[in-house]
Structure 1
Amino acid sequence: MTTSMQLYRYSFTAGAFAAGGSFFGRAPSQLSELPALTSAFAPTAAATYYLALQCTEHTLTATVLTAATNYMLSFILGALVYREEITLMSTVGAIFIITGLWFLCKAQEEQKLSAKHKKLH
């Protein structure tokens, strides 16, 4: 799993920036100075997503990992910062997202290993 984490780090980082956008989008109603921070993150988020696209063989992989990271961090930040209720449904959804990410990363890793194995023989 460590190899997958390193390989897809830009996808996870882009998702984290996207979650930051969601988080900071809600924050101005409570803190008036945060819109300036949101615009400061925008160029970095876009650049990170482009790096994520370059590191993955399929555009869909980077997009799914980015979106999933966004959802998970938004869920966690909402619960911790805004004290949003954690329901059974939201917990089950989070488990499905994490399981899906694990399967996606594992399948990509196995495809690469299989391709390397075929090249050697």
Structure 2
Amino acid sequence: MKSLVNYRYSLVAGACAAGGSFFGKLPSHLSAQKLLYFQDSAGGNFSDSSYLEFGLLRLLPLVLMVICNVCNLRCFLKALQMTEQTLTCVVLTAASNYVLSFLLGTLVYQEPLTALSGIGITLILAGLWFLCDAGAVDSRKKETEKAS
């Protein structure tokens, strides 16, 4: 777990990227759920409540998507500055994005959970474990070499 502290910005960047994807899909998901009724029954004009629904259910998720993507870029750049190997940073960011997007899609959007997707997530998590653990071993080797 100590090795994950070194890569916290990579993991946060992946979480922000997953959040951006989540909020990007949310308006179309809400439209498919028939939660939006924009037209007034009288003449097809927008009513005051329709503007509120449009703002909250269409524009707000898009604004949150942009905010998440900006935070993603900021954290990713910070992660690149903090890590010694850029490949580790890129892999951790992408893997955490995939895992969190999978979880959000399954839990919120009721996307199907198949055996193949379960195997894929397990392999991604195993790869993350080995990658982070190998980074901790490399840093311990460098510390012992400096001490001797």
Percent identity between matched residues is: 47
Post-superposition offset of 1:40: 2.2
Pick one of 61, 77, 95 that aligns with 1:68.
95
Task: In structure 2, list runs of 5 or more residues that go unmatched.
Answer: 31-56
CA distance in 2, matches of 1:54, 1:44: 15
Report what 1:106 is aligned to: 133
CA distance in 2, matches of 1:107, 1:22: 30
What letter matches 1:115 in structure 2?
K
Runs of 4+ more than 4 Å apart: none
Post-superposition offset of 1:41: 2.4
Q: Per residue, is there more helix in 1 or in 2?
A: 1
Does 2:93 correspond to 1:94? no
Report what 1:15 is aligned to: 14
Tell me the alpha carbon deviations over residues 37-95 of structure 1, each in whole angstroms, 9 at most, x when there is no partner.
11222322211111111121100000000000000000000000001111000000000
SS at match of 2:110: coil
CA distance in 2, matches of 1:97, 1:86: 16
Post-superposition offset of 1:26: 1.1
RMSD over aligned Cα atoms: 1.0
Whether contact under 8 Å (2:17, 2:69) holds in the other structure is no
State how many pairs are aligned.
Answer: 120
CA distance in 2, matches of 1:118, 1:62: 24
SS at match of 2:112: coil
Post-superposition offset of 1:23: 1.1
Pick one of 104, 107, 112 that aligns with 1:77.
104
* Structure 1 length-normalised TM: 0.94
* Structure 2 length-normalised TM: 0.78
Does 2:80 correspond to 1:59? no
